[in-house]
Chains A and B, each alone.
Chain A
Amino acid sequence: MLNRLFPHPLMTFTLTAVWLGLVNKVTPGNLLLGVILGIIVPIVTSVYWPNRPRLRRPLMVAEYGLVVLWDIIVANIQVAAIILFKRNADIHSRWINVPLDLTSPEAITALAGTITMTPGTVSTMLASDGRSILVHCLHTDDPDGVRDDIKTRYEARLKEIFQ
């Protein structure tokens, strides 16, 4: 019964929080409307969410967020420096193949998003069996180092969070 009412408890919570943020004012009426939306939307869309990702270590999410945020700031400065001070001929762009240990689609999506948002790397596609990810690097002379960075900084943390 409880399971049918809240097929996706985390989504219910997120939707309520986002609704309160959107109306920008926490009043009992808004909270009620937010909770109603938070209950109805997951029920209506539950067919499209066959698997619920399980967060093993919710607190790690906060740490992961901070690490990524810091890396984004560093990334911005690095990319800005490359754009401004490197001649086009000196920019060595490379493809990097990053083999994945992650298996859950949610974790891989999070990793791909993180790669795109951080230092000079864009994730472009997966291998057809979903076991490695193709990354385009704006400028590097050490492709193996970039690959190891991605694996130790992001993938190891995501693995702890999701698996």
Chain B
Amino acid sequence: MDLIVEILIAFFLVVSGVFGLVGSFGMIKLRDTLQRLHAPTKATTLGVGGVLIASMLYFLVIKGSFSFHELLITLFLFLTAPITANFIAKTFMQAHTRDEDLPPTGREYGWSLYDDPPNQTDY
């Protein structure tokens, strides 16, 4: 029983290590900032997730106590990662992307970085 769980824990640790490595490799390999943004937000999610599952299994089966911390780390990670990515993307686009590079919205108002919002009274 313990052996099976230990194999599982080792498996999750290896999986997370591989994905963490691939995510970091992507940072070097991909060409521009927006492409590089994809590597850490994706590949690393599973990297961290694997470590957290392994840690939960370890505490649950080997130590015999349930730990909520991993669930909270997952929750906070899912709340913060998209916001960080969004900030980085916007800051990059502010300096390097022009309105013409983007697809049109197809409506009267353009993308928020280049176009003013409708007046509040319009609502």
A76-B43, A95-B102 given; A21·B25 CB < 8 A: no
On whether the beta carbons of A21 and B71 are closer than 8 Å, the reply is yes
Query: Does chain B have a CB within 8 A of A12?
Result: no
Inter-chain contact A129/B89, CB cutoff 8 Å: no
Q: Considering the complex, which residues of chain B in the window 58-97 have a beta carbon less than 8 Å from any beta carbon of chain A? A: 67-69, 71-72, 75, 78-79, 81-83, 85-86, 89-90, 93
CA distance A84 to B43 in the complex (A): 11
Contacts of B46 in A (CB 8 A): 72-73, 76
Tell me, yes or no, whether A37 is within 8 Å of chain B by CB. no
Indicate whether A134 sits within 8 Å of B111 (C-beta atoms), given known contacts A72-B45, A83-B39, A97-B104.
Answer: yes
Name the interface size band of chain A: 35 or more
B-side interface mostly? helix
Of residues 14 through 34 on chain B, the ones whose CB sits less than 8 Å from some CB of chain A are 19, 22-23, 25-26, 29-31, 34
The number of chain B residues with a CB under 8 A from chain A is: 51
Complexed CA–CA distance, A113 and B30 (Å): 23
A18 to B76, CA, bound (A): 11
Known contacts A122-B34, A122-B85, A132 near B107 by CB under 8 Å: yes
Known A-B contacts A93-B35, A128-B111; A24 and B42 likewise in contact (beta carbons under 8 Å): no
Known A76-B46, A116-B82: A88·B117 in contact at CB below 8 Å: no
